[in-house]
Amino acid sequence: MMNEFCKGGGCTAKLGPGILDKVLKMIPKKADPKLLVGFDHSDDAAVYQLTDELAVVQTLDFFPPMVEDPYLFGKIAATNALSDIYAMGGEVKTALNIVCFPESMDANILGQILLGGNEKVTEAGGVLAGGHSINDVDVKYGLSVMGTIHPKRILENNHCKEGDLLLLTKPLGVGIVMTASRMKAVSEEAFDQAVESMTTLNKYAAEIFKKYGIHACTDITGFGLLVHLGEMLGENFSAEVWTSQIPYIRACEDYVEEFYITAAGQRNRNHIGAQVAFENCSFAMEEILFDPQTSGGLLVAIPENEVKKALKEIEALGLDCGIIGRVTEKKEKKIYVLK
């Protein structure tokens, strides 16, 4: 009954950015000077200052399975949930499990999920401290993670500067590969590439970036590269994206031609497509740029004089990565996708 376990999840199951914006605008916001980063930032995690030297970073992420192996699903979900702490520049301290699981399903499956999750929390240097489980029709799993950070060293997602280069630390296309997998049309190579990417903690990339003068950082998840980049640019900048430099899982080109694409990718297109100018961009590459990522890489805006050295260190981590574009002055469109 594997199909009952995996109905196509991961970050493709996220609510669209459009709906979320509308709803969040209706919630009254309490002003608290100690809340350094809250949800009005569309940032990756919340940051609350405790003392002059110490702030806590909090985040929560969970979703339905996107792979049939429960242990692997646990690892991916945890890697994804932990990522938001790294995207802010923080260090992982504690994590709580969030579980929805049908009582009628084999409890060993849940055991495997939690085992995979715990492994990644431990690798992150954190400790699993508890959790909450609900009997539900479908499986969902994730974590609420707490980390710490120095209040002066927060990496916000929208502080880029004109002339910064954009560095992406993981290949795109994970959502497309998982959709092809659900359609039983995936190659073993592409599946393995996607899994390796989804289970690699952003911890290692984040540690490297601490040595450089990063201006902005975010992790690429369900909203895909272009929506996350759009958030990073805010209202004051535009950017060029160079398709020849985009790291992506090569099999995606074929999978897009077979239309193994998601509803979430289309929602991302609806959200930001009007602010993107595509020049000489193949249909497959467009879809890859909108593709929702589960446990995607970090996207940073970094000064030009530091980027080569940083890229060399990121490359040594072993995943496909690249300098994918540049922040420019504000132009008519927000993002220009060029060859």
Partner 1 sequence: MNIQIDAKGKQCPLPVIEAKNAISGMTEAGIVEVTVDNEIAVQNLTKMADHKGLKAKSEKKSNQEYTVWMEVTEEFVKNNIKDGNVSSTPVTEENCIPDIRKKKTVVVLGADHMGEGDEKLGKMLMKGFVYALTQLEELPQTILLFNSGAYLSCEGSDSVEDLKSMEAQGVEVMTCGTCLNHYGLTEKLAVGSVTNMYVIAQTMMEADHIVKP
Q: Which residues are catalytic?
A: 11
Q: Is 320 annotated as a binding residue?
A: no
Residue 283 sits in the site that holds partner 1 (CB under 8 A) = yes
267 touches 175 (CB < 8 A): no
131 touches 98 (CB < 8 A): yes
Strands across the sheet containing 91-101: 35-37, 46-49, 55-63, 140-149, 91-101, 127-135
Q: Restricting to residues 54-113, name those near partner 1 by CB under 8 A.
A: none
- Residues in CB range of 244: below 8 A, 6 or more apart: 339
Radius of gyration of the chain (CA): 19
Q: Restricting to residues 4-23, name those near partner 1 by CB under 8 A.
A: 4, 7-8
Strand-pair partners of 99: 133, 141
Q: Is 40 annotated as a binding residue?
A: no
Residue 267 sits in the site that holds partner 1 (CB under 8 A) = yes
Residue 260 sits in the site that holds partner 1 (CB under 8 A) = yes
Q: Please, what is the minimum distance in Å from the beta carbon of residue 138 to partner 1?
A: 13
Q: Please, what is the minimum distance in Å from the beta carbon of residue 3 to partner 1?
A: 4
Of the two residues 65 and 325, which places its CB atom closer to partner 1 in the complex?
Answer: 65
Residue 2 sits in the site that holds partner 1 (CB under 8 A) = yes
Of the two residues 40 and 257, which places its CB atom closer to partner 1 in the complex?
Answer: 257
109 touches 240 (CB < 8 A): no
Instruction: Single out the segment in contact with partner 1 by CB under 8 A; choices: 1-9, 24-32, 40-48, 162-170.
Output: 1-9
| Helices assigned H by DSSP within the chain | 2-5, 17-25, 70-87, 107-123, 174-182, 188-198, 203-209, 224-233, 252-257, 263-272, 283-290, 304-315
Binding mask 152-181 for partner 1 (x = CB under 8 A): ---------------------------x--
Residues that bind partner 1 (CB under 8 A): 1-4, 7-8, 179, 183-184, 258-263, 266-267, 269-270, 283
**Residues in binding site for Mg(2+):** 44, 84, 219
